[in-house]
Amino acid sequence: MGIGWHMIQPSTLSPITFSGFCKHFPSSTKAEADIGNRQKFNVWLDYTTNSVLKQASFHQQIDWSMTEEFFKYNLHDRPTSHKLTKFRAWQRKMVNNLLPTMDILYRRYPTLFKDKRTCWTCDQHEETNDSLWLCSVNLEILCPHIVQFIQDLKTDIRQTCDYGDSLLEQELNNNSIFKFFLQLRGNLPLPTTNSIFYLTARQIITHDFSYIFREKYKHKKTLHNKILSKFYELTQLIKRIIWKPRNDTFKKWKVAQWITKHSYKQYRRKTKKTRSHTDHPQQHKNEEPTTRYHFSNVYRNTDFQFYQIAFFRSL
């Protein structure tokens, strides 16, 4: 039987193909699982919504091993709970860039949201999953909270670390995640989708974040727990300051417009009745979905694919 792998340099992000069987090799099952995992991972990165993650992975900015641990992180230490379920759903939406922002809602329900598609904070641009975390007004509101988080983080590390922390303040001040918030206003350009802060907002642990804690703790378990707990605090802070007020404003607007869950159901029912089964041209997988049918299928497939490939340790 044919045996062999066709391995491409990891930095190219090209697919890895397996040319035969390797059952008689030790740990061959694990080797095949790793190859399959990499193939599924590359398929997931090829989704249009994950193009930024693909580029960041190419530049080796993402700490995939810690990101995997974060997607198994359970703050409440219980196997199941309502809070954990909501947290997992939030992580899944964030990493796949599928929060129900106004651009997505408009694609699904164009008549319901035709008069409101702009940012709920500044009303200056269309609200998307990207613009939500990069809006200049949102960043300005977030700034003092990030500064306070950095101060608390500095205090916590100094109180708990096993080794010296003489360079800690310099490391935090120069960290790509925090630099924008620590500089005087106007000294640095606004973060973009290429920034480390944007990856952080999407629940991705970067090397810039994990580096803060490296060489400061004696035990690996302590180090990992510290990285995970502080990253959880940071991402929940960003969510609480940016997403929660936005969502509260959106809910009040829906009440004023008499838009309820029943409105969504009624719209879908009406659309289903008037839509012919032959009205859906075949779309390329990388094209933006423009109908509820295509969007809902992309949404389901992305979630499914993510849970299939969310094993980053072998990458």
The total number of structural domains that make up the chain: 1
- Output the pLDDT for position 256: 94
* Among candidate residues 227, 252, 267, the one with its CA nearest the CA of residue 108: 267
Evaluate whether residue 281 is within a structural domain: no
Q: Is there a contact between 145 and 237 (Cβ–Cβ < 8 Å)?
A: yes
CA dist 189 and 180 (Å) reads 8
Evaluate whether residue 284 is within a structural domain: no
Evaluate whether residue 302 is within a structural domain: yes
Evaluate whether residue 95 is within a structural domain: yes
DSSP letter at 62 equals B
User: Residues 6 or more apart from 228 whose CB is under 8 A from it?
Assistant: 66, 69, 70, 73
Residue type, 237: L
Torsion 96-102-103-107 (CA) sign: positive
User: Residues 6 or more apart from 260 whose CB is under 8 A from it?
Assistant: 254
Backbone angles phi, psi at 170, to 5 degrees: -65, -40
CA dist 270 and 296 (Å) reads 17
SS3 209: helix
- Output the pLDDT for position 272: 78
Evaluate whether residue 110 is within a structural domain: yes
Rounded to whole angstroms, what are the CA distances from 242 to 100, 105, 246, 255, 310?
14, 19, 6, 21, 26
Confidence of residue 221 (pLDDT cuts 50, 70, 90): very high
Q: Which of 85-94, 167-176, 180-189, 292-301 has the lowest mean pLDDT?
A: 292-301
Tokens 């310099």 identify what position?
170
pLDDT at position 178 over 80: yes
Q: Is there a contact between 70 and 205 (Cβ–Cβ < 8 Å)?
A: yes
Over range 200-227, report the average pLDDT: 95
**What's 98-136 look like in SS3?**
CCCCHHHHHHHCCCCCCCCCECCCCCCCECCHHHHHHCH
pLDDT at position 17 over 90: no
Confidence of residue 278 (pLDDT cuts 50, 70, 90): very low
Evaluate whether residue 224 is within a structural domain: yes
Evaluate whether residue 16 is within a structural domain: no
Backbone angles phi, psi at 5, to 5 degrees: -120, 150
Q: Is there a contact between 32 and 19 (Cβ–Cβ < 8 Å)?
A: no
Q: Is there a contact between 285 and 101 (Cβ–Cβ < 8 Å)?
A: no
Evaluate whether residue 11 is within a structural domain: no
Range of the domain at 107: 23-271+290-309
CA dist 139 and 242 (Å) reads 8
Report field, pTM of the whole predicted structure over 0.85: no
